[in-house]
Amino acid sequence: MKEIFRIIGIVLIGALVLMTLTYGFGWFGVGYKKTVGKELKNADREIYEETNSFTKAKRQEIIKYYKEWNEVETLEDKKAIETILSMSLADFNEDKFIKDAKLLSWVKKVKY
């Protein structure tokens, strides 16, 4: 009976030492960042992209580029503006946040 308690005690102490070492070396932290941490960052990004400040800034950016696009005269300048805008709006859902039909059609033409 005494021998069983001794073996159980050794196993528990070994497990405790192993857990302490893995925590000390950050192995749990790495696993956490690869799984739960990544999903938390994605959720934070999705929430931010639907905030009022983000969507207003994107709309203002689109309006600014639209005005510049209308003012430039050469085709090269227009293509440069279109390239910049299409890269800037790669993950932006224009259907959800742009209400002006004229601006929306221009963005779709440029982006797609």
Q: Tell whether 32 is covered by a domain.
A: no
Is there a domain that residue 48 lies in? no
Helix (H) / strand (E) containing 89: none
Is residue 42 assigned to a domain? no
Number of separate domains in the chain: 1
Report if residue 52 sits inside a domain: no
End-to-end CA distance of the chain: 76
- 29 in a domain, yes or no? no
What percent of the chain is modeled with pLDDT above 90? 61
This prediction's pTM: 0.65
Residue 61, domain member (yes or no): yes
pLDDT digits (tens, 9 = 90+) for 44-85: 999 999 999 999 999 999 999 999 999 999 999 999 999 999
Report d(CA 58, CA 89) in Å as an integer.
Answer: 8
Q: Is residue 3 part of a domain?
A: no
Give the tens place of pLDDT for each residue, 10-33: 999 999 998 888 777 776 777 778
Range of the domain at 107: 57-111
